[in-house]
């Protein structure tokens, strides 16, 4: 099994200005903003498959939210490594898929593959080997890419899939600068020696474009069958 980890250029301002308010309003009041309705309706039906995310969102998720406004936010009891929630796991999974569809369609741009079933937490030993202090800001920046999305990013079904975390443009520029001063190409750990230069290169590209970064595992626009015109940004691979 496993999942493809990718690092995306991330429109952090659009996330804060459009996505967060829309999802907050939806979960707290049951009201859905027009662009989110259009996004859901843009998901096509599959004539060869009875299942579509659109049908599940319209038939299951939205009625549940309207019947229980605030439940998805109110019932979180932990936001650590294993968030728990007493909302039905399928409803929670549907909501997290909607979050992913909203973020991918509005906020994600070009991307680079950074490994299979990877997390930046796996670079901790490599940082120690490079004598990076425990309180060095680079550790916090990489940790944010691994865990800032835990509350609603990781789907309860599937393990490592979903949005792991993100950085603002300012944090991204800081990460690019700090990684540029480390001998990441000579890291003793093979995973870090291959992966950290790719993180650095993506951070540099994002910083040059004034973008943030988002780390996601198996985060694909194609998963929700969103048509090309529903994507706000080009999503080509930086590996080309």
Structure confidence by residue, pLDDT tens digits, 17-56: 999 999 999 998 999 999 999 999 888 766 666 778 888 9
Q: Does residue 159 have a pLDDT over 70?
A: no
Instruction: Enter the pTM of the model.
Output: 0.87
The whole-number pLDDT of residue 64 equals: 92
Convert the pLDDT of each residue in 192-237 to its tens digit.
899 999 999 999 999 999 999 999 998 866 665 555 555 555 566 7
Which letter does DSSP use for residue 73 in this model?
Answer: H
Reported as a single tens digit per residue, the pLDDT across 62-118 is 999 999 888 776 654 444 444 455 567 788 888 888 999 999 989 999 999 999 989
pLDDT of residue 88: 72
Compute the distance between CA of residue 40 and CA of residue 182 in angstroms, rounded to an integer: 44
Q: How far apart are CA 235 and CA 214, in angstroms?
A: 13
> Where does 34-107 show beta strands of DSSP type E?
76-78, 84-85
CB–CB of 192/126 below 8 Å?
A: yes
Kindly state the average pLDDT of the residues 172-184.
96
Please enumerate in sequence order all residues whose Cβ is within 8 A of that of 219, keeping only pairs 6 or more positions apart, or say none.
Answer: 6, 8, 100, 103, 104, 108, 161, 162, 163
In this prediction, residue 33 carries a pLDDT of 96
Mean pLDDT of the region 110-128: 92
State residue 81's pLDDT score: 45
Longest Cα–Cα distance in the chain: 57
Average pLDDT on 156-184 reads 88
């Amino acid at each position: 099994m496993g999942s493809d980890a990718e690092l995306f250029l991330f429109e952090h301002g659009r996330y804060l200005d459009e996505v967060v308010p829309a999802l907050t309003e939806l979960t707290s009041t049951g009201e859905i903003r027009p662009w989110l309705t259009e996004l859901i309706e843009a998901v096509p039906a599959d004539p060869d498959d009875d299942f579509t995310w659109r049908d599940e969102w319209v038939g299951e998720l939205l009625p549940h939210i309207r019947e229980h406004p605030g439940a998805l936010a109110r019932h979180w009891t932990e936001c650590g490594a294993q968030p728990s929630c007493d909302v039905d796991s399928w409803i929670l999974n549907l909501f997290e898929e909607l979050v992913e569809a909203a973020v991918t369609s509005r906020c994600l741009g070009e991307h680079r593959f950074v490994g299979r079933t990877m997390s930046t937490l796996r670079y901790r030993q490599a940082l120690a080997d490079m004598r990076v202090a425990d309180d060095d800001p680079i550790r916090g920046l990489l940790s944010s890419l691994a865990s800032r999305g835990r509350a609603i990013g990781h789907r309860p079904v599937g393990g490592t899939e979903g949005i792991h975390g993100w950085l603002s443009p300012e944090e991204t520029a800081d990460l690019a600068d700090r990684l540029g001063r480390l001998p990441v190409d000579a890291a003793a750990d093979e995973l870090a020696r291959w992966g950290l230069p790719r993180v650095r290169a993506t951070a540099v590209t994002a910083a040059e474009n004034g973008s943030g970064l988002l780390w996601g595992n198996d985060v694909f626009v194609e998963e929700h069958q969103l048509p090309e015109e529903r994507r706000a940004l080009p999503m080509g691979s930086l590996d080309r």
